[in-house]
Structure 1
């Protein structure tokens, strides 16, 4: 496995989680019916994540059940039940995680992305952004839109025109909401200082994405 210090990381490194500011609930603190529901959901989701463990992000957000259930319903309409190709959606989410320096989001979605068909080469070139060689025109437009929203909170006219060449109106709206949602979630995870689960850390360390080209850390 690749040691943490040799793994791919954004400029300045991942944001330091430190001790959790808000600890996730443990399953023992959740009602039995809800434990069963979460475990069934994790087992069903294992086709995407490769893990049957209830993710800590769920156990964190369950500290506010009223928001959790509303969030879960909305989030599921973007991923995995959105209209975008799953590989396209995962590229966007991974780029958001990179831009926000959110290791939890990154580690979870490297595993999900690889299982959804995102290539090792695609993840390896994500640090270089939309200008890297090897992207399709569609992928370049997606990543440019993701970066525009992160940097200036608006998709630039030229980027929007590129999106129009590849995506219908409803999909362009979905792209903006997908980016916004995962930026919001990254902010919650970074602020709560939620560390990546041990099993997810092991998956990330085993992922074949930590090659020499990916280890170049450009200046902020």
Structure 2
């Protein structure tokens, strides 16, 4: 697997120019999907009349899986025991390593507006744990993501340093976040989920 160092100047682009699985519009949704995406949506996604993202319109093809996946995704994103800043660093690094334009773009927005990250933080997430000037704590966090993605494992020395900062639940949520968003990046990349028109090119590559 390529490391962050030789990806530093990369810009993410869609893996596919067109979706392999087209997003379903509201009139095509299963009733249970409609309930989930409007009345049952997490408050963090806004009111039920807000636009629905393409990732959810695509998952609407598989209502049973979507109903089961939604509570877990809600935990990883909104109920995680990790502080928001660390959670978004983990998610963004996983998305960057997966070359997932859609995932990375959406979470840059969350990171900057809700989690207190800066443009410099986003740049460091792209270049990885060896970024000059990165704090040891942030370097360890990014290195944990790299290790999990490359080896499905965190080494004993790194685990020991992380365990001095995080609780057992937070460490588990770190692993959960990498696993979940790596899986979602696979889904997004392979199904060809396209970044919404208003966002295209504005968040993934501008920072």
The alignment's TM-score, normalised by the length of structure 1, stands at: 0.79
Q: CA offset at residue 12 of structure 1?
A: 8.1
- Residues paired across the two proteins, number: 198
Shift of the alpha carbon at 1:19? 2.1
Indicate the residue corresponding to 2:157 in structure 1: 158
Greater helix fraction, Structure 1 or Structure 2:
1
Partner of 1:99: 97
Q: Does 1:188 align with 2:187?
A: yes
Confirm or deny: 8 A CA contact 2:24 2:61 kept in the other structure.
yes
* Pairwise CA distance, 1:143: 0.6
| Aligned pairs (5 A) from 1:127-206 | 127-201=126-200, 203-204=202-203
Relative to structure 1, the CA distance from residue 14 to residue 202 in structure 2 (aligned partners, 3 Å threshold; closer, same or farther) is: closer
TM-superposed deviation, 1:173: 1.3
The residue number in structure 2 matching 1:124 is 123
Candidates 49, 60, 63, aligned match of 1:62:
60
CA deviation after TM superposition for structure 1 residue 159, in Å? 1.6
Structure 2 counterpart of 1:84: 82
Is the alpha carbon distance of 1:148 and 1:23 closer, same or farther for their aligned partners in structure 2, counting shifts above 3 Å? same
TM-score by length of structure 2 reads 0.84
Q: Which runs of 5+ in 2 are unaligned?
A: 1-6
Task: Spell out, residue by residue over 1:108-136, the C-alpha distance to the aligned partner (whole angstroms, 9 max, x if none).
Answer: 11111111211111002222101113333
Q: CA deviation at 1:15?
A: 5.1
For the aligned residue pairs, the C-alpha RMSD in angstroms reads: 2.7
